[in-house]
Structure 1
Amino acid sequence: MKKLILTGLTCAMASTAYAQIESVTAVTTPNGLGQRVTQAVVNYPENTCLTAVQKTDFSVENRTITGVTLNDAKCVNQLVLELDPQDTDAATTEKLGNDRSAPYTERHISLTVKQVNSLTSQSGQVKPSEFTSSKVINQVVDDFQQAEFKDESGVVVKYNLFVPKNYDPNKSYPLVMFIHDAGSTNSNVKHTLLQGNGATSFAGPEWQAKHPAFVLAPQFDHAIVNDKSEDPADLEPTINLIKSLVKQYNIDPNRLYTTGQSGGAMMSIAMNIKHPDFFAASYIVAGQWEPSVTAPMAKNNIFVLVSENDAKAFPTENEIMKVLAENGATVKESHGWNAQAPVTELNEKVNALLAQGGNIHYASFTGGTLPMEQNSQSKGAAHMGTWQVAYNIDAIKEWLFSQRKAK
């Protein structure tokens, strides 16, 4: 994720002996763990002209400072404190209760920054000071617009939409839809953007520079699927939402993609079963469905990723693969991946699997290797931990965007 651009000012020689911190802004960035507070941008009065700082010159309440940056302008009144995204207080959401099914809610973000040592400036010493701020910049998340779609059935779908920068209506664009898990069921329409990086990983500047695309992230405030694999009531309204966006923007109907984690993966599977000709490709993360009804998606382009310790998704996906193969799919599998391996290594494994050909690609992580499994005794760690890694694997996303429906 890009760093904030620091701004410098032409230095005036006014005294800054009593200059203090003037403002603090928290900056959040997407992460597999969820949107995390990763920077504190600290501003001093104009003409402070800082010349040197160290991370030990500051402290941030309940946070770990990993670095500090000044720009190279002649007169600097702004610095950036880099904060550890693994800190507990880095999270932008929090769980309401200890139960596994308890919902998450958006946290109130507040940063208290202390300058604990005097700083050197071109015009004097800057004495220690302290400032608490709740101003927040959410990188990538703030680039989404929020809206509602009212289906002809009366069902309303709340959603977040990222429109490519410098959108050109004379140019055709792909669209990728991300659907959140059941644990992220929430009345806050932005919650799906904060709880992980399934949507934001496609909207970040690095990805968009290679693949300008629309990113759609519906937010549901109620359960959309169940373990009985019943036809979801929100399925058709969500399909109709996509159709409406295709009409509103120049979105290529041959380059529509869906992905989701857990409940969102289940919705993507259900969509592929009911509308096997709608999506060009799908990325299914820790999902499951009744195997016996999955035959209609045997001809689709699908990549499935799951943990071998996932008590429901792994055995169910094994059965789904058998059904798909029996109905004409060419299934290629690769198992035993180390979820803690570098992304470069995971990309190599993905490319080796894709090189085998086929239209259904099925991969799994060795049980116990997910980072969440190392830090939690929860039975759900092998399930929920999968999507913390899944959307960091660029090779799978590259495969997804390379797929086109036959015209």
Structure 2
Amino acid sequence: MFAVEKIRADFPLLTQKINDQPLVYLDSAATSQKPQSVIAATELFYTQQNANVHRGRHSLSEQATTAYEKARDKVAQYFNVQSREIVWTKGATEALNLIACGLTEQLDKNSSIVITPLEHHANIVPWQQLALKTGAKLHILPLEADATFNMSACIEFLKQIKPTVLALTHASNALGNITNLSPLLSTVKGFNTITVVDGAQGAMHLQPDLNILDCDFYVFSAHKMLGPTGVGGLYGKYERLNALLPYQTGGEMIETVSLFNSTFRDAPAKFEAGTPNIAGVIGFSAALDYLSELDKNAAYDYEQGLFNYAVNKLNEIDGITIYSNLEHNIGTICFNYKDEHPFDIATLLDGFGVAVRSGHHCTQPLMVHLGINGSVRASFCFYNTHQDIDIFINALHECIALLD
């Protein structure tokens, strides 16, 4: 049995009240809550270990460097890849921009970039900018009316385009839909396509083995994996990674500097200019420790149980429309009530202590595809309970009564 009450005790924020009501936090797709061990690790760094990493020869610097690089090793172990294939960034957004900017000299007017309508803006805008810079043509993978992929149609599309770059999400941040990546990645392998997967939502819930997934790049954010904000990373196959141009320049990433020329170090240092978010990385290291102690399969099954329970409850309410794929989902429900504005629903729910997200979720093209201006999003994590969902549903009934 999944010991959710024991787990909840590790997350101090979950015990507070909002508007005099017990907090029901259903916004983990935006950012996950942090266990006490992550908070303690960050505090410990600043109170007992604070020093800059690399090159320092005093004890504090060497301790900080060891902890910082040990975190990189943990990420590599988590995804089953090599440590030298992990680059620290501010998050998935910066990682995607790093890739797109780094590919500038590899694309030209004969190149093609394929994205999907499901993407977060962070996996759309960088590719638009790369197309503008290089003259490459941007193509959109076909999406069904219900925001799912017809796999045979997508495969045929990719065979016709033979893309230079294919960028797609592992799981939709707005809908929670899980993308069936394997057939798409396999289709383009023979075209030497550069494959980029946005793992901001998938990294924690799905914990992919990137050796098996076999994409060229995979990006993630620590704050969606129980870690601090302002930290994330990029996995890249080493040859693909080293072929990218530097995204930023400055200290740490250089090999030699003269007044007229500079040479750069190999990855990952090549992409880590300046002083990094050391405390954040060390906090993320503690988050990875926490995740490693969980039963991965039990946590996933528990989240799926919460998701199905919530879906069933929502389906009992007349006027609710759910847009999420209910069969392949990480535990996120995107819905609306009649023609009520999602902001109104979310604001009223907050009065009952229920935290959900509302709006377009940084997926305006997807909202246009669905024919809506926005939606309410409830996203679950393994620290949520069935009681959370009951409170959410009861509060939603109260909100509807106020609106009708």
So what's the TM-score if we normalise by structure 2?
0.27
Quick check: which has more Rg, 1 or 2?
Answer: 1
User: In proportion to residue count, which structure has more strand?
Assistant: 1
Higher relative contact order (CA 8 A, sep 6+): 2
So what's the TM-score if we normalise by structure 1?
0.27
